[in-house]
Amino acid sequence: MTEATTDTKTKTRHPLSQLSSFSDDLLDKASKNPAATKFLQVLQSATQLRDRVDDLSKRVRGLDALEQQVAELEKRVAKLEKPARKPAPPKPPKHEEKPAEKPV
């Protein structure tokens, strides 16, 4: 094959297939480079950390709703536990009536 036919062949290839081929070559070269391998490991760890943080934030949002429900239930229980008001005992008269004096 000549260079001209290779050139026209790459020009007629779809841009996505070119990008795919380029990325495959890049990943192949990166896998052979120790620094790139370490970088890929760090990148993978960061992705896992992000996933864990997302999961934890979902759980925390769920806990907020549960805490609100518990607070409402505690208020309802507190209302039910309040002692019922007893009727007030009859009050004794403030001043006692003295027996009427008998005329002499």
* Residue partners of 37: CB distance under 8 A and separation at least 6: 30, 31
Whether residue 62 contacts residue 70, with contact meaning beta carbons closer than 8 Å, is answered with no
Report CA 25 to chain centroid distance, whole Å: 40
Let me know: does 30 contact 36? Beta carbons within 8 Å: yes
Low-confidence ranges of the chain (pLDDT < 70): 1-12, 84-87, 93, 95-104
Amino acid 102: pLDDT: 67
| pLDDT score for 98 | 63
Pair 10, 18: CB distance under 8 Å: yes
Global confidence as pTM:
0.38
What is residue 6's predicted lDDT score, i.e. its pLDDT? 54
Domain ranges of the chain: 13-80
